């Protein structure tokens, strides 16, 4: 049986204010060639500066990926000629990557596995080339934006592991505020190495570059396995080459055959002195790491939030931050999580909005959850209030008053309504007498219908049972 072995290289743009080795701003989508200076253009006489935020985020990445941190680091020059690299060398780390030997845990089909990370290193991004007909346009806004490259060992066995690894990596980098990890904006880019072999010895490696989405990673793995298997079975030797994923045809396309060993003439960057990373520095960075997805999942589970809700919560970092803040303020976590994922999240997703762009405030959410918790409102009313808030802003209590959504909790009022309902549903009462408990639910529903959901569910329930028992015992 041919067994695939996969390694993944991920480049992520780091969330810093300025570029890695120049004071220009780190931006996306600005007017081309505006966020640049002489350093970004590789002008004669310029020298690199060093953005401390690059080092901070490098250390942070090493920490969240469980890497050993290299205590004495320097940068290297990777020399090659290409128009997208203004100095014709890239400042990167070849000799002393900031982190080594890390891992990310993945779980699927009952399997738990650590995807081992070989190394992570810091480097500068190239400029963006746009190829048009017979010429190439260069946008240097991207030149020098700080990157972290994360390289796994060749340990990934299938597309499921690859996807989970990337999803987890993405969540971790997002939650720890290291990168925006927006694949569509190019702030996270994936390259794959894949080889097939019947034995433990690795087969010939094929590289797939610049894959545009996580689902395309899975597709390209499956496609390559099929392509390479067919070739091997036909007795054709796989050649070492670089391919790219083509979304239109859902195939990989040959870019270039590997020439005998690229010679990048690496050597230590003489313009940036060595950097010592001491324990104090690492300790400071540790303090800035918030709870990461895995820890959050554990926490939510303990609080009694169900798995489906947890899954949709984790997908939105803003809502997690909000939920955790509200939990700090002692709101009911389960009710709160339900409201956030059901009502708020679907609204946000439909409109591609962030929480802070909504009309609903954190205070609103707190009010609603508290009132739900105290049974002052029903969940149906809660929904109504939320949709009112989303449309028109406001104060929860005001909406309740204005719309007459206040709960009916007066026993006499409720008893009147209950008796009306019972009298109009003799069949259900008979069912109850014959031991059919579900008729309680039916009758409750009728009460709610009658009161437009304003009946206090708890009191109504108690009164209803009491009245039914009464009729049963007295055979009325």
Rule CB under 8 A: which residues touch other proteins?
38, 41-50, 77, 79, 81-83, 86-89, 136, 138, 261, 263, 265-268, 270-273
Write down the least CB distance from residue 37 to other proteins, Å.
9
Calculate the dihedral angle through the C-alpha atoms of 251, 255, 258, 261, rounding to the nearest 10 degrees. Answer: -120
Would you say 41 or 238 has its CB closer to other proteins? 41
CA 337, CA 311: separation in Å to the nearest integer? 11
Would you say 51 or 460 has its CB closer to other proteins? 51
Would you say 29 or 261 has its CB closer to other proteins? 261
Write down the least CB distance from residue 229 to other proteins, Å.
35
- Chain centroid, CA 372 distance in Å: 30
Write down the least CB distance from residue 23 to other proteins, Å.
9
CA 51, CA 24: separation in Å to the nearest integer? 11
Contact 188, 168 (CB under 8 A): no
Would you say 49 or 425 has its CB closer to other proteins? 49
Calculate the dihedral angle through the C-alpha atoms of 64, 169, 18, 60, rounding to the nearest 10 degrees. Answer: 0
Cβ atoms within 10 Å of 354's Cβ, excluding its own: 12
Closest of 379, 360, 359, 361 to residue 369, by C-alpha: 379
Write down the least CB distance from residue 138 to other proteins, Å.
8
Would you say 82 or 108 has its CB closer to other proteins? 82
CA 27, CA 280: separation in Å to the nearest integer? 31
**Count of residues in the chain:** 476
Would you say 46 or 157 has its CB closer to other proteins? 46
Write down the least CB distance from residue 273 to other proteins, Å.
6
CA 174, CA 12: separation in Å to the nearest integer? 11
Contact 215, 250 (CB under 8 A): no
Write down the least CB distance from residue 104 to other proteins, Å.
33
């Amino acid at each position: 049986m041919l067994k695939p072995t996969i390694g993944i290289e991920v480049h992520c743009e780091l969330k810093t204010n300025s570029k890695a080795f120049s004071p220009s701003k780190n931006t996306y989508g600005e007017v081309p060639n505006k966020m640049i200076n002489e350093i970004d253009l590789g002008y004669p006489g310029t020298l690199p500066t060093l953005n401390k935020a690059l080092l901070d985020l490098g250390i942070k990445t090493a920490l969240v990926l469980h890497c050993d941190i290299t205590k004495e680091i320097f940068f290297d020059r990777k020399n090659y000629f290409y128009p997208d690299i203004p100095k014709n060398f890239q400042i990167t780390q070849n000799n002393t990557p900031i982190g080594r030997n890390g891992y990310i845990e993945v779980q699927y089909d009952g399997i738990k596995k650590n995807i081992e990370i070989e190394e992570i290193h810091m480097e500068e991004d190239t400029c963006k080339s746009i190829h048009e007909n017979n010429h190439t346009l260069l946008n240097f806004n991207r030149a020098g934006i700080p990157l972290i490259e994360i390289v796994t060992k060749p340990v990934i066995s299938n597309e499921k592991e690859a996807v989970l690894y990337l999803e987890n990596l993405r969540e971790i980098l997002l939650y720890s505020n290291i990168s925006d990890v927006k694949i569509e904006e190019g702030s996270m880019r994936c390259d794959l190495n894949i080889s097939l072999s019947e034995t433990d010895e690795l087969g010939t490696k094929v590289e797939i570059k610049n894959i545009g989405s996580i689902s395309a990673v899975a597709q390209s793995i499956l496609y390559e396995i099929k392509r390479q298997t067919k070739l091997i079975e036909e007795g054709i030797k796989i050649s070492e080459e670089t391919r790219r994923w083509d979304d239109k045809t859902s195939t990989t396309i040959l870019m270039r055959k590997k020439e005998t060993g690229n010679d990048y003439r690496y050597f230590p960057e003489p313009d940036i002195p060595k950097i010592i990373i001491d324990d104090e520095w690492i300790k400071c960075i540790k303090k800035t790491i918030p709870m990461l997805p895995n820890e959050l999942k554990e926490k939510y589970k303990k609080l009694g939030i169900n798995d489906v809700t947890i899954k949709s919560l984790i997908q939105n970092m803003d809502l997690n931050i909000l939920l955790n803040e509200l939990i700090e303020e002692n709101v009911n976590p389960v009710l709160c999580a339900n409201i956030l994922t059901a009502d708020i999240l679907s609204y946000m997703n439909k409109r591609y909005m962030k929480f802070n762009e909504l009309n609903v405030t954190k205070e609103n959410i707190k009010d609603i959850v508290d009132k739900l918790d105290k049974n002052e409102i029903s969940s149906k009313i809660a929904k109504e209030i939320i949709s009112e808030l989303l449309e028109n802003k406001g104060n929860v209590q005001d909406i309740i008053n204005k719309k007459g959504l206040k709960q009916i909790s007066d026993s006499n009022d409720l008893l009147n309504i209950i008796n009306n309902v019972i009298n109009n549903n003799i069949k259900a009462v008979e069912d109850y007498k014959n031991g059919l408990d579900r008729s309680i639910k039916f009758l409750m529903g009728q009460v709610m219908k009658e009161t437009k959901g304003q009946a206090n569910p708890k009191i109504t329930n108690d009164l209803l049972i009491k009245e039914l028992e009464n009729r049963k015992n007295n055979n009325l």
